[in-house]
């Protein structure tokens, strides 16, 4: 018996990780570097907002996903490493929802002081809560293995775990921004097109490899005491002469000129500490980082110590080390989005996302140019982006989202901002999941299944331009009070002055649907008002504050669903601490002739505001 027990223990010990084995490790019984193989339906490379939203959306729609990120945190330019502001559309009613809004609301709930390191973990929580996702941080893709024209696997190196990975899959999504999966031989572009190629009137020069540059940001802290700042010896040391140039405003309607903002730190926005457009933003990344550090320290020294006292009461609290990129590589898809597509509003049959930023073209000379360093051209309030911009023309199982989608340099200037990239990521992940479900390539999704992708995106609270969400047949067949009819119009937000919602007092009122005969109910879809307002959910640029943010007060915090079964109301689902805008809930199927939502508590308002209530 002892012999059997010892043998069993030896087998168990061998199966355990090396780190828990009792014996000391030496060169004779242990590895220095591991080789590990993993497999999934979809491999997503890049863990910025585009990659996160792609991975989460694909996983939620049933695909197995490996998410590979070369940094220790998720979020890319929005993370604590870069701290770029998440921007997108410029008007309230068009605000981006979907997974991005979910993460921002989760940030309000669990990070009310808006600390950047906690924001990293809000994004992290969103990813690791999905059982279909395998997350690999600190892991850099450095090789692509091909099977004919298709990608068979990618190879990657984890610097912390001393592990080589071979990651195989059916579809590969490049959300890296730089386009590492170009190793597959996928067609791509870098630089500026000639103006005549797409008849882009705002592009006055091109046919070169110049791009927009990278930026390093500063974060300031308000202080009671005031102290001078001493920059490192290797930094630049600026004087007034360095900023002695004309700053004329544009006289052309819809055109804005931007200059370096060295006068006051009131908005703490140092986007103009920018460099790299005249060199290679990928291969020259170390030199760009060094140059940006020299500029950033020199700028703060100049501003802080200026005799006019413009920065009195501010200290430097944080300076970035990882530059945020605006532009590097763009893949070529069946459609190349350009300036004219944006200005025309993007009326595409295969629309899957939208943007609303300006055509914001930064001069490649950036900070080192005396004078205007960016020009913004007004765009429509929002413009559609097609599915044909999200997959390769020559590598059939390669998709992409973020700033490496198929577009021109000018098209990129309006689509590169992170809220737009998040929508593109969610669309890409949803399209990939549909491809996996049907066993087809992305091109066939476009040809045969694009309506399914669009319906899923709208169901997941991603508004698509020039159309509205389809309401479920079960909901449309129900009877309800006239005041509730607005919940069945498919418009899940206030729009052009119309409220499109109902207000419900906790404990006093409910929204109910009824049917002439009992129907089978197994779930519901709800949209609560999360207070769409430009800038309202962005991370603060001043880190050290004790002011707390709150979940929007008109959100329903505690609520329940009741079904009427044989004349009696029975609770089929309840929520006590809701902070999310979109809720798609399931419960055990019941045969009932009515369904209602009862709000028990808001986050502070007298009434909860509901935009949608669908029975399923």
Which residues of 243-323 form beta strands (DSSP E)?
255-258, 274-275, 314-319
pLDDT for res 545: 75
Residue 548 DSSP label: P
Closest CA to 361 of 348, 375, 347: 375
Record: fold of 473-615:
Jelly Rolls (2.60.120)
Q: What is the pLDDT of residues 236-266, one digit of tens each?
A: 999 999 999 999 999 999 999 999 988 888 7
Closest CA to 495 of 100, 107, 97, 88: 97
Q: What is the pLDDT of residues 429-462, one digit of tens each?
A: 999 999 999 999 999 999 999 999 999 999 999 9
To 10 degrees, what angle do helices 450-459 and 418-438 make? 130
Q: How far is CA 298 from CA 182, 302, 440, 459, in A?
A: 37, 6, 54, 49
Structure-block tokens of residue 117: 């390191």
Under the banding of pLDDT at 50, 70 and 90, the label for residue 541 is confident
Q: How far is CA 341 from CA 252, 351, 359, 410, 424, in A?
A: 21, 12, 11, 10, 16
Q: Give residues with Cβ within 8 angstroms of 473, minimum separation 6.
A: none
Q: Which whole number is the average pLDDT over 399-407?
A: 98
* Cβ proximity of 527 and 502 under 8 Å: no
Q: Domain residues of the chain, as ranges?
A: 2-33, 38-189+387-459, 214-325, 473-615
Q: What is the pLDDT of residues 283-323, one digit of tens each?
A: 999 999 999 999 999 999 999 999 999 999 999 999 999 99
* Cβ proximity of 194 and 91 under 8 Å: no
The mean of the pLDDT values for the chain is 94
Closest CA to 187 of 299, 336, 357: 336
Sign of CA dihedral 426, 432, 436, 438: positive
For residue 173, what is the enclosing H or E element?
Answer: strand 171-174
Residue 14 has pLDDT above 50, yes or no: no
Q: Rounded distance, CA 193 to CA 410, Å?
A: 9
Alpha carbon 439 to chain centroid distance?
Answer: 27
3-state class (DSSP) for residue 6: helix
Residue 12 has pLDDT above 70, yes or no: no
Alpha carbon 602 to chain centroid distance?
Answer: 28
pLDDT for res 21: 60
Alpha helices per DSSP H over 61-157: 98-110, 116-128
3-state class (DSSP) for residue 567: coil
Q: What is the pLDDT of residues 106-119, one digit of tens each?
A: 999 999 999 999 99
Q: Rounded distance, CA 475 to CA 614, Å?
A: 6
Q: Rounded distance, CA 425 to CA 123, Å?
A: 14
Closest CA to 321 of 64, 71, 59, 582: 71
pLDDT for res 17: 52
User: Within 13 A of 269's CA, how many CA atoms are on the CB side?
Assistant: 12
Q: How far is CA 358 from CA 15, 168, 284, 362, 442, in A?
A: 56, 39, 28, 12, 29
Q: Which whole number is the average pLDDT over 502-510?
A: 93
Among the residue ranges 51-60, 468-477, 532-541, 597-606, the one predicted with the least confidence is: 532-541
pLDDT for res 536: 80
To 10 degrees, what angle do helices 98-110 and 49-60 make? 100
Residue 224 DSSP label: S
HEC assignment per residue over 23-85: CCCCCCCCCCCEEEEEECCEEEECCEHHHHHHHHHHHHCCCCEEEECCCCCCEHHHCCCCCCC
* Cβ proximity of 163 and 36 under 8 Å: yes
For residue 154, what is the enclosing H or E element?
Answer: strand 150-158
pLDDT for res 4: 46
Give the whole-number percent of the chain exceeding pLDDT 70: 96
Give the whole-number percent of the chain exceeding pLDDT 90: 90
Q: Give residues with Cβ within 8 angstroms of 12, minimum separation 6.
A: none
* Cβ proximity of 592 and 516 under 8 Å: no
Under the banding of pLDDT at 50, 70 and 90, the label for residue 543 is low
Q: Which CATH code fits 38-189+387-459?
A: 3.50.50.60
Structure-block tokens of residue 390: 């999200």
Q: Rounded distance, CA 94 to CA 561, Å?
A: 29
Residue 421 has pLDDT above 90, yes or no: yes
Residue 138 DSSP label: S
Q: What is the pLDDT of residues 486-501, one digit of tens each?
A: 999 999 999 999 999 9
Q: Rounded distance, CA 399 to CA 184, Å?
A: 12
Q: Rounded distance, CA 564 to CA 195, Å?
A: 64
Q: Give residues with Cβ within 8 angstroms of 172, minimum separation 6.
A: 42, 43, 45, 151, 154, 181, 184, 397, 398, 399
């Amino acid at each position: 018996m002892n012999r059997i027990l010892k043998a069993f223990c030896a087998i168990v010990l061998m199966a355990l990780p090396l780190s828990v084995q009792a014996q000391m490790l030496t060169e004779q019984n242990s590895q220095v570097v591991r080789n590990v193989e993993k497999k999934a339906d979809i491999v997503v490379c890049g863990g910025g907002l585009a990659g996160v939203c792609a991975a989460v959306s694909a996983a939620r729609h049933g695909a197995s996903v490996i998410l590979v990120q070369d940094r220790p945190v998720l979020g890319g330019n929005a993370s604590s490493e870069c701290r770029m502001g998440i921007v997108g559309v410029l008007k309230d009613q068009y605000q981006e929802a979907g997974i991005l809004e979910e993460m921002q609301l989760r940030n309000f709930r669990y990070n009310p002081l808006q600390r950047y390191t906690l924001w990293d973990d809000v994004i992290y929580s969103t990813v690791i809560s999905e059982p279909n996702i395998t997350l690999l941080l600190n892991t850099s893709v450095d090789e692509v293995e091909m099977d004919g024209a298709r990608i068979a696997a990618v190879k990657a190196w984890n610097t912390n775990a001393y592990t080589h990975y071979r990651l195989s899959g059916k579809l590969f999504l490049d959300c890296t921004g730089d386009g590492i999966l170009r190793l597959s031989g996928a067609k791509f572009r870098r630089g500026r097109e000639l103006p005549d190629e797409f008849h882009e009137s705002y592009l006055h020069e091109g046919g070169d490899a110049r791009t927009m540059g990278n930026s390093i940001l500063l974060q300031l802290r308000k202080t009671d005491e005031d102290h001078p700042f001493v920059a490192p010896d290797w930094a630049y040391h600026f004087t007034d002469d360095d900023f002695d140039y004309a700053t004329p405003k544009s006289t052309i309607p819809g055109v804005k000129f931007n200059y370096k903002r060295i006068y006051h730190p009131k908005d703490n926005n140092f986007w103009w500490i920018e460099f790299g457009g005249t060199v290679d933003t990928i291969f020259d990344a170390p030199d760009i980082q060094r140059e940006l550090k020299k500029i950033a320290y020199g700028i703060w020294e100049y501003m802080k110590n200026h005799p006019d006292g413009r920065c009195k009461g501010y200290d430097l609290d944080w300076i970035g080390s990882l530059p945020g990129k605006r532009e590097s590589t763009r893949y070529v898809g069946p459609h190349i989005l350009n300036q004219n597509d944006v200005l025309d509003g993007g009326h595409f049959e295969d629309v899957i996302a939208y943007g609303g930023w300006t055509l914001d073209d930064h001069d490649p000379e950036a900070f080192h140019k005396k004078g205007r360093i960016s020009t913004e051209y007004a765009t429509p309030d929002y413009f559609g982006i097609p599915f044909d911009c999200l997959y390769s023309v020559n590598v059939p199982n390669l998709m992409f989202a973020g700033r490496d989608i198929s577009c021109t340099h000018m098209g990129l200037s309006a689509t590169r901002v992170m809220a737009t990239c998040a929508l593109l990521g969610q669309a890409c992940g949803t399209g990939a999941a549909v491809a996996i479900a049907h066993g087809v390539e992305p091109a066939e999704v476009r040809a045969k299944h694009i309506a399914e992708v669009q319906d899923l995106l709208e169901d997941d609270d991603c508004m698509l331009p020039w159309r509205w969400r389809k309401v479920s047949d079960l909901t449309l067949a129900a009877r309800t009070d006239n005041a509730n009819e607005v919940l069945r119009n498919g418009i899940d937000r206030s729009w052009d002055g119309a409220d499109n919602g109902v207000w419900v007092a906790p404990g006093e009122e409910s929204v109910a649907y009824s049917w002439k005969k009992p129907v089978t109910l197994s779930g519901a879809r709800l949209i609560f008002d999360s207070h769409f307002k430009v800038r309202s959910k962005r991370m603060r640029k001043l880190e050290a504050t004790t002011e707390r943010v709150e979940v929007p007060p008109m959100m329903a915090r505690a609520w329940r669903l009741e079904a009427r079964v044989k004349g009696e109301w029975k609770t089929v689902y309840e929520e006590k601490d809701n902070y999310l805008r979109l809720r798609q809930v399931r419960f055990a199927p019941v045969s009932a002739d009515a369904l209602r939502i009862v709000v028990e508590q808001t986050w502070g308002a007298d009434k909860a505001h509901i935009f949608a209530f669908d029975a399923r």
